[in-house]
């Protein structure tokens, strides 16, 4: 009878492995959402699960729980072989031998006992606590693989309890008795299967099928065997030496399983032809993209155009805009978006619309790699879809909470808490990406200080230096230029107050934002309206002229992860006065290509401004130094670095190219 039970348990393991493969593929396409229930592959997997559960239940009615339950671990080896993971054969062999030895020893030493209602209830309370622990870990962690492990482990606990209840029901049916307590057992089976299934679907969404199966087939038998041994008395006649041997076999099997689970993720798109050429199909996901005017949007455009210029097939997914224009060489896919009532130039996508549209685009485009530029709506759902489909991913962070506080009108006493929440959300989303970058070492440090794992790397946004090297007629008076959004964190009011203290200096301000009207009034109150010109938004050609005719550049902002505007001014050969904050010291080398001042110290800013305004030879020397420093941030080097990171994300060998930050 025991031999037949073992045979049935092996058949059940085969069914479970096939079910995991089918359901994982369905979740990879649809995500862990209700719509997956209509997928034929998911339904086929469900049918196999039911068949496997039936066979497993029959086996449990013929042999002790400690014999039958561990056989399910064979599913991990089967699933790995279905994924063509032949390099993992040693780990598969260790797992199989460990389980086989465990079954051989357990079958000769375990004692069959009756499952009584009191034991079922006690086991239920133990299981609830055991599900809660990995459940909390899954809710709090930001790492996709850890989330997959936690969800699958919690599912394994639920399935382990199912085995206990199945054995109780099976015994009752065989003995011809089926009372009220057994109806409760059947309801418990249904509830445990539903909870376990829900948890496993989320595990499938976070990692490959063999990872979920690995966790299930370790945790499930541990829970079931533990209940059988300690609550049902199946280990009553177990000798010390046999127990030690069983533990050793279990550890060997678990070691093999975790060796499989630790293997790097591979692409699940086996049905797609492998791109063996150097040209890639790259999808760039951007929550802000031209015609938006900001640093992140301009970088996304430069990246897209630069990659297309190197022969790659580049697609951009971004919110739509009535002012959008075509970009030569780049295919831009616009998602439905809406404008905010008080910020008509800002577009946002509704999550339920963006999720569906982004998923459909990723499925149809079948990119080689996905590069997201933000963790907001577009970047979030494009990244989710790519991860679910096994597509290599890279994420670049341009976000600082301070850049949104003035727009969202967050009270100062709540900004600390809001900042922590924002970084936790960022880490949760970007934690799923294969590679993560930020523009400067300081930006990377900020990520790490905010709880992101120590794996982000700095990659400069880069700049097309030659584009900014043009000559125009300078203004009659020494001119200091600011370029950027006119919002609170840019602190242009400090620039205006300092300018008022430097007779003979002229200022130009390019850009627009929520504080423009306020700062125009401030210029009037300071009596410098004749020395300051607010240009608002200008064309690209007009912007290049503004850089060229300026004598120096001022960046008083305190929330710059790199500052493209400062880089552009340096490319134009201008000295820079900048706030000693965030990443600006990476660009402005104090006393060499400009000066740093302490944020809020208007007197110090005015002194720096006065020095450069009245010392033309110094401006020349510092401008030349700016040109030399910015040469290490050439766009060509940035593109090459990202190509190397794409190759690493795809599992290809690529040289690591040093790039100044």
Tens-place pLDDT, residues 548-583: 999 999 999 988 888 999 999 999 999 999 999 988
**555 CB-side CA count, 13 A:** 30
Q: Judge whether 270 lies within some domain.
A: no
A 10 A CB-CB count for 127 gives 21
**Residue 604 in tokens:** 């110090």
Q: Does 444 lie in the same domain as 318?
A: yes
Of the candidates 384, 395, 394, the residue with the CA atom closest to the CA atom of residue 361: 384
Of the given ranges (266-270, 329-333, 637-641), which has the lowest mean pLDDT? 266-270
Q: Does 530 lie in the same domain as 440?
A: no
Q: Does 67 lie in the same domain as 99?
A: yes
Last residue in a domain, options 401, 434, 458: 458
Decide if 549 contacts 573 (C-beta within 8 A): no
Q: Does 179 lie in the same domain as 78?
A: yes
Residue 415 has a pLDDT of 64
Alpha helices in 324-466 (DSSP H): 351-365, 377-388, 402-408, 412-430, 441-449
Q: Does 492 lie in the same domain as 439?
A: no
Give the domain range for residue 449.
281-458
Decide if 318 contacts 378 (C-beta within 8 A): yes
* Mean predicted confidence (pLDDT) in 462-480: 85
Cα–Cα dist 661/587, whole Å: 8
Tens-place pLDDT, residues 380-394: 999 999 998 999 999
**Statement: residue 84 has pLDDT above 80:** no
Q: Could you tell me the CA-to-CA distances from 13 to 7, 153, 401, 643 in Å, in that order? A: 10, 18, 49, 42
Q: Judge whether 648 lies within some domain.
A: no
Decide if 218 contacts 49 (C-beta within 8 A): no
Decide if 523 contacts 532 (C-beta within 8 A): yes
**Statement: residue 661 has pLDDT above 60:** no
Residue 118 has a pLDDT of 66
Of the given ranges (8-22, 318-332, 463-477, 502-516), which has the lowest mean pLDDT? 8-22
Q: Is the backbone of residue 347 left (phi > 0), alpha (psi -120 to 50) or beta?
A: beta
Q: Judge whether 276 lies within some domain.
A: no
* Mean predicted confidence (pLDDT) in 123-127: 75
DSSP letter string, 108-158? HH-------HHHHHHHHHHHHHHHHHHHHHHHH---HHHHHHHHHHHHHHH
**Statement: residue 343 has pLDDT above 70:** no
Residue 279 has a pLDDT of 87
Q: Judge whether 383 lies within some domain.
A: yes
Tens-place pLDDT, residues 484-525: 989 888 999 999 999 999 998 999 999 998 899 999 999 999
**Statement: residue 275 has pLDDT above 90:** no
**Statement: residue 657 has pLDDT above 50:** no
Residue 55 has a pLDDT of 80
**Residue 178 in tokens:** 């089926």
Decide if 85 contacts 210 (C-beta within 8 A): yes
Residue 286 has a pLDDT of 95
Q: Does 610 lie in the same domain as 574?
A: yes
Q: Does 183 lie in the same domain as 65?
A: yes
Q: Does 363 lie in the same domain as 252?
A: no
Question: Cis omega before residue 291 (within 30°)?
Answer: yes
Of the candidates 149, 300, 303, 159, the residue with the CA atom closest to the CA atom of residue 220: 159
Count helices and strands in the chain by DSSP H and E runs: 24, 15
Q: Does 318 lie in the same domain as 230?
A: no
In degrees, to the nearest 5, what angle opens at C-alpha 174 toward C-alphas 169 and 180? 40
3-state SS class at 552: strand
Residue 207 has a pLDDT of 61
Of the candidates 544, 565, 577, 582, the residue with the CA atom closest to the CA atom of residue 630: 565
Q: Judge whether 659 lies within some domain.
A: no
Q: Judge whether 641 lies within some domain.
A: no
A 10 A CB-CB count for 239 gives 9
**Statement: residue 304 has pLDDT above 60:** yes
Decide if 304 contacts 330 (C-beta within 8 A): yes
Beta strands 369-372 and 343-348, pairing class? unpaired
Cα–Cα dist 140/153, whole Å: 15
pLDDT band of residue 236 (cuts 50, 70, 90) is low
Q: Does 487 lie in the same domain as 412?
A: no
Q: Judge whether 603 lies within some domain.
A: yes
A 10 A CB-CB count for 416 gives 10
Tens-place pLDDT, residues 431-459: 899 999 999 998 899 888 887 877 899 99
Last residue in a domain, options 214, 229, 261: 261
Query: Which CATH number goes with the domain that contains 529?
Result: 3.40.50.2000
Cα–Cα dist 296/303, whole Å: 10
* Mean predicted confidence (pLDDT) in 64-82: 64
Last residue in a domain, options 458, 484, 499: 458
Q: Judge whether 68 lies within some domain.
A: yes
Decide if 192 contacts 168 (C-beta within 8 A): no
Identify the top-confidence range among 33-42, 143-152, 351-360. Answer: 351-360
Decide if 106 contacts 67 (C-beta within 8 A): yes
* Mean predicted confidence (pLDDT) in 395-416: 69
User: Please, what is the angle between helix 180-206 and helix 209-230, to 10°?
Assistant: 150
Percent of the chain with pLDDT over 70: 72
Decide if 317 contacts 649 (C-beta within 8 A): no
Q: What's the domain count of the chain?
A: 3
Q: Does 348 lie in the same domain as 303?
A: yes
Decide if 452 contacts 142 (C-beta within 8 A): yes
Q: Does 351 lie in the same domain as 478?
A: no
**Statement: residue 184 has pLDDT above 50:** yes
**Statement: residue 658 has pLDDT above 70:** no
Average pLDDT, the chain: 80
Phi, psi for residue 608 in degrees, rounded to 5 = -60, -45
Cα–Cα dist 124/257, whole Å: 27
Identify the top-confidence range among 44-48, 151-155, 517-521. Answer: 517-521
């Amino acid at each position: 009878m025991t031999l037949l039970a073992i045979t049935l348990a092996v058949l059940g393991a085969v069914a479970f492995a096939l079910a995991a493969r089918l359901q994982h593929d369905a979740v990879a396409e649809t995500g862990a959402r209700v719509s997956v229930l209509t997928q034929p592959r998911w339904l086929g997997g469900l049918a196999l699960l039911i068949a496997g559960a039936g066979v497993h239940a029959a086996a449990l009615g013929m042999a002790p729980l400690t014999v039958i339950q561990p056989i399910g671990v064979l599913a991990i080896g089967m699933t790995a072989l279905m994924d063509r993971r032949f390099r993992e054969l040693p780990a598969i062999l260790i797992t199989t031998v460990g389980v086989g030895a465990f079954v051989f020893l357990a079958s000769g030493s375990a004692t069959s006992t009756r499952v009584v209602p009191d034991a079922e209830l006690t086991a239920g309370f133990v299981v609830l606590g055991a599900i809660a622990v990995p459940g909390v870990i899954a809710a709090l962690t930001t790492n996709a693989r850890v989330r997959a492990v936690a969800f699958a482990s919690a599912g394994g606990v639920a399935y382990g309890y199912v085995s206990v209840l199945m054995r109780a029901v099976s015994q009752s049916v065989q003995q011809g008795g089926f009372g009220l307590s057994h109806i409760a057992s059947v309801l418990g089976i249904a509830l445990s299967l539903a909870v376990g299934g829900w948890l496993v679907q989320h595990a499938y969404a976070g990692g490959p099928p063999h990872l979920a199966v690995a966790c299930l087939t370790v945790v499930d038998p541990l829970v079931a065997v533990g209940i059988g041994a300690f609550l049902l008395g199946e280990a009553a006649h177990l000798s010390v030496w046999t127990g030690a041997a069983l533990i050793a076999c279990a550890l060997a099997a678990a070691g093999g399983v975790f060796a499989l689970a630790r293997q790097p993720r591979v692409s699940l798109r086996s049905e797609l032809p492998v791109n063996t050429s150097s040209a890639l199909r790259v999808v760039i996901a951007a929550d802000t993209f031209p015609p938006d005017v900001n640093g992140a949007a301009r970088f996304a455009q430069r990246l897209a155009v630069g990659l297309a210029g190197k022969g790659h097939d580049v697609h951009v997914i971004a919110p739509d805009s009535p002012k959008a224009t075509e970009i030569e060489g780049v295919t831009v896919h616009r998602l439905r978006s809406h404008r905010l009532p008080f910020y008509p130039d800002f577009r946002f996508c509704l999550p339920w619309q963006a999720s569906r549209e982004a998923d459909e685009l990723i499925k149809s485009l079948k990119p080689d790699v996905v590069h997201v530029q933000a963790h907001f709506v577009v970047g979030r759902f494009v990244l989710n879809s790519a991860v679910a489909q096994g597509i290599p991913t890279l994420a670049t962070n341009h976000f600082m909470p301070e850049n949104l506080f003035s727009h969202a009108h967050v009270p100062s006493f709540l900004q600390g808490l809001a900042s922590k929440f924002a970084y936790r959300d960022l880490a949760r989303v970007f934690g799923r990406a294969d590679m993560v970058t930020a523009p400067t070492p300081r930006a990377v440090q900020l990520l790490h200080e905010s709880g992101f794992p120590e794996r982000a790397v700095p990659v400069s946004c880069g700049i097309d230096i030659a584009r900014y090297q043009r000559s125009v007629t300078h203004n009659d008076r020494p001119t200091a230029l600011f370029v950027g959004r006119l919002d609170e964190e840019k602190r242009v009011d400090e620039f205006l107050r300092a300018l008022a203290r430097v007779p003979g200096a002229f200022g130009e301000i390019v850009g627009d934002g929520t504080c423009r009207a306020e700062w125009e009034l401030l210029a009037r109150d300071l009596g410098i309206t004749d020395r300051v010109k607010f240009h608002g938004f200008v064309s690209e050609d007009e912007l290049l002229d503004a850089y060229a005719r300026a004598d120096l550049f001022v960046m008083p902002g305190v929330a710059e992860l790199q500052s493209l505007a400062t880089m552009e001014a340096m490319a134009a050969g201008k000295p820079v006065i900048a706030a000693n904050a965030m990443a600006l010291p990476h660009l402005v080398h104090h006393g060499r290509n400009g000066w740093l001042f302490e944020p809020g110290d208007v007197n110090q800013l005015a002194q720096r401004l006065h020095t450069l305004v009245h010392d033309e030879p110094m401006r020349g020397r510092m401008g030349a130094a700016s040109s030399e420093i910015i040469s290490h941030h050439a766009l060509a080097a940035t593109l090459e670095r990202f190509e190397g990171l794409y190759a690493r994300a795809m599992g290809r060998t690529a040289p690591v190219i040093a790039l100044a930050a």
